A and B are shown apart, each in its own frame.
Chain A
Amino acid sequence: MLTFEAISLDMLLTLEADQLDALPFGVVGLSLAGIVEIYNATEAQLAGLQRETVLGTHYFSVTAQCMNNFMVAQRLEDEAEIDEIIDYVLTLRMRPTPVRLRLLKAPQTDRRYILIQR
């Protein structure tokens, strides 16, 4: 199942770039240090950014300061394992936009994911 609610961390890791791009929700994959490694086409289009300018940057400092708090960034840092959906408001293209975020992290995986559904 490749839906926002059901897609698994293992599945995200195995999907090819074009398959990730085809997903109807935003996918952001971060390294342990918070550097953007995956930024799918849906997310790039909704945020109004070009993928190549986001890849390799520190996500919570450069692109998503509004997630750099105890509700998102801190949880991805502190908790060993997360799979949770939270209601949130992002500032996509500077417009306050209600979204659902799914945070995904597992102890055996070096990459964390944030899925974003408008």
Chain B
Amino acid sequence: MTTDLEAENAALLQFLYACPAGLVEFSAAGAIGMVNPAAMGLLMPIAGRPFVINLFDVMDGCAPELRNMIHNFAPPQGTVCDGHRIVTGRGERSTILACTIVKLTEDRYVATLSDVTEQVARERRLKQAETWFASLLDGVDDVAVLSLDANGCVDAATPSATRQTGFTEAELLGRPLEWFDRPDRATAMPLPGEAIAVARRDGWYLHEGWHALADGGRYWCQRLVAVRNEAAGAAAGYTLVIRAVTRQGRDTADLRRMLTRDHLTGASNRAHFFETAERQRVRALRDAGSLALVVLDVDHFKRVNDEHGHAAGDAVLREVARRCEAELRPEDIFARLGGEEFVVLLPETSLMKASAVAERLRTSLAREPIVTGGIELRITASFGCSALDTDPAASLAGLLAAADNALYKAKRSGRDRVELSHPNQAAA
């Protein structure tokens, strides 16, 4: 005989088994207490195996910031994050999860997880359309209009353009579209020719970024390139509409930093890396150029955490990011892939040059100890390099796997060293 209470319990369990959103209860150390099947279904592919015991361990490869966010959340209870996006996977078939975490007590947290991959793709398209309409509907004062020839060089400028940028018409004429770009590390500008290539293919191209002013400054704007005078299927020229975005205060900058930066180290985040890397790869293929990846992993990092605590570990990661970024060019992307693993994206770089860059990074880490909380830590890292010039057919995931293989070789042969991928192994 089942009692009413038992029947109610069973109904509650069934409700949780069938719940389409993932639910996880865990401790401050990440140990999973309770988890429903939907959450397990989302976590298992990330873990790559069916043994999911600790939430932080599972997420370390794609959302290492979760541990920091929980650690840094001071109130005794409350919402730690709401809809925090996590990009899983390594390049191909990335699933995007939205994660909300509520702190119940010092050692008890509840998280919801849901797959928002489709939603994110829809939002991106919607955002483009919105930007487009906003630029049409808003006041004409902040819109500059220029004419580009078939190669994407300015062949006419309206007074609105000279007024907005401060350049004279003579200074503008003949300049390629990209001449006005003033990118920084947080903004991925399209590569030379990309805007025109996309506009030729789709009829239009839309982008947000920094543009030059005649006085040496720059301004944040939305840029629309639209095909004009399509004759016999070929674009005779383009119209370039530049709209200054007025809300370029702290909010926008903070938002962009949040969307592109890793919470702890300030390096680029995974989403920003994968987006930029894929763009660069396509570009390199088209122009028969190269593109290199350097994957690096801090040696014996677990020991730092175990012996000196997570605060020391965090300080090491921040210093590793700082030293590496100081050695790189503005166009290189230094990103945190997860845990103590970073990747450098080197545009227009051959495998041999990438190996020299990796060697420079290795030296800058090994040269002097990292000082944190009064202790000196000797930190080294192992490096693996791959590049398109020796493996032109590789996908982004393939390049990353090849660099990973080289990295493991560096680990196996004693750490604190640089290894290169071999194209015949990269296919594996």
Interface residues of A (CB under 8 A from B): 47-50, 53-54, 61-69, 71, 86-91, 93-96, 98
Contacts known (A53-B10, A91-B35, A96-B53); A66 close to B41, Cβ less than 8 A? yes
Query: Would B38 and A65 count as touching, CB distance under 8 A?
Result: yes
A69 and B43 alpha carbons, distance in the complex (Å): 11
B17 and A49 contacting across the interface, CB-CB below 8 Å: yes
Asked if B41 and A94 sit within 8 Å, CB to CB, the answer is no
In the bound complex, CA of A69 to CA of B49 (Å): 12
Bound complex: CA A41 to CA B39 (Å): 26
Closest Cβ of chain B to A101, distance in Å, is 9
Can you list 25 A-B contacts (CB < 8 A)?
Answer: A47-B13, A48-B10, A49-B10, A49-B17, A53-B10, A53-B11, A54-B14, A62-B14, A62-B18, A63-B37, A65-B17, A66-B37, A66-B40, A67-B37, A68-B41, A69-B44, A71-B44, A71-B50, A87-B50, A87-B51, A89-B51, A89-B52, A94-B34, A96-B40, A96-B52
How far is A90 from B53 in the complex, measured between Cα atoms in Å? 11
Known: A66-B40, A89-B51. A49 touches B13 (CB 8 A): yes
Residues of B within 8 Å of A71, CB to CB, are 44, 50
- The one of B10, B34, B45, B51 that contacts A69, using a Cβ cutoff of 8 Å: B45
Chain A residue at minimum C-beta to C-beta distance from B11: A53
A96–B117 Cα distance when bound, in Å, is: 26
Interfacial chain A residues near B11, Cβ < 8 Å: 53
A53→B45 CA distance, assembly (Å)? 29
Report whether A63 and B52 are in contact in the complex, using a CB–CB cutoff of 8 Å: no
Contacts of B53 in A (CB 8 A): 89, 96
Q: Mark B5-37, 1 if CB is under 8 A from A, else 0.
A: 001011101101110000101000000111111
Residues of chain A contacted by B72 (CB below 8 angstroms): none
CA distance A66 to B17 in the complex (A): 9
**Cβ-defined contact, B2 with A91, below 8 A:** no
- Quote the shortest CB–CB distance from B49 to chain A (angstroms): 9
In the complex the two chains form, is A65's CB within 8 Å of B50's CB?
Answer: no
Given contacts A53-B14, A89-B53, 19 further A-B contacts (CB under 8 A): A47-B13, A48-B9, A48-B13, A49-B10, A50-B2, A54-B14, A61-B18, A62-B14, A62-B17, A63-B18, A65-B37, A88-B50, A90-B40, A91-B35, A91-B37, A94-B13, A94-B34, A94-B35, A96-B35
| Central interface residue in B14, B34, B38, by most chain A CB within 10 Å | B14
Interface set of B (CB-CB < 8 Å, partner A): 2, 7, 9-11, 13-14, 16-18, 23, 25, 32-41, 44-45, 50-53
Which residue in B9, B10, B41, B52 is a CB contact (below 8 Å) of A65? Answer: B41
Residues of A within 8 A of B51 (CB): 87, 89, 98
Candidates B7, B36, B44, B52; contact of A94 at CB < 8 Å: B36
User: From residue B157, how far is it (CB to closest CB) to chain A in Å?
Assistant: 57
Rounded to whole angstroms, the CA-CA distance of A94 and B34 in the bound complex is 5
CA distance A61 to B13 in the complex (A): 14
Bound CA span A68–B22, Å? 14
Q: How far is the CA of A15 from the CA of B11 in the complex (A)?
A: 29
Looking at the assembled complex, report how far the CB atom of A52 sits from the nearest CB atom of chain B, in whole angstroms. Answer: 10
- CB proximity of B13 to chain A, nearest CB, Å: 5
A66 to B14, CA, bound (A): 14
CB neighbours (8 Å) of B38 from chain A are: 65-66
- Minimal Cβ-Cβ distance residue in B for A95: B34
Beta-carbon contact of B17 and A64 below 8 Å: yes
A62 — which chain B residues lie within 8 A by C-beta? 14, 17-18
> Min CB distance, A58 to chain B, in Å?
10
- Chain A's nearest CB lies how many Å from the CB of B308? 30
Q: Which residue of chain B lies nearest to A51 when distances are taken between CB atoms in the complex?
A: B10
Cβ A96 vs Cβ B10 within 8 A = no
Nearest A residue to B6, CB-CB? A50
Asked if B40 and A49 make an inter-chain contact with CB atoms under 8 angstroms apart, the answer reads no
- A86–B36 Cα distance when bound, in Å, is 20
Q: Residue on A with the closest CB to B18?
A: A62
Contacts of B50 in A (CB 8 A): 71, 86-89
CB atoms of B13 and A89 under 8 A apart: no
With a CB–CB cut-off of 8 A, which chain B residues contact A48?
Answer: 9-10, 13
CA distance A86 to B34 in the complex (A): 22
Cross-chain contact B14 with A63 (CB below 8 angstroms): yes
* A53 CA to B384 CA, complexed, in Å: 54
Smallest CB-CB separation from A86: which chain B residue? B50
A84 CA to B10 CA in the complex, in Å?
30
Rounded to whole angstroms, the CA-CA distance of A95 and B35 in the bound complex is: 6
Closest to B53 in A: A96
Task: Tell me the nearest residue of chain A to B25, going by C-beta.
Answer: A94
Contact of A64 among B16, B34, B35, B37 (CB under 8 A): B37
- Give the chain A neighbours of B52 by CB distance below 8 A: 89, 96
Contact partner of B32 (CB less than 8 A), chosen from A49, A88, A96, is: A96
Q: In the bound complex, what is the Cα–Cα distance between A62 and B37 (angstroms)?
A: 10
User: How far apart are the CA atoms of A98 and B11 in the complex, in Å?
Assistant: 24
Min CB–CB distance B234 → chain A (angstroms) = 47
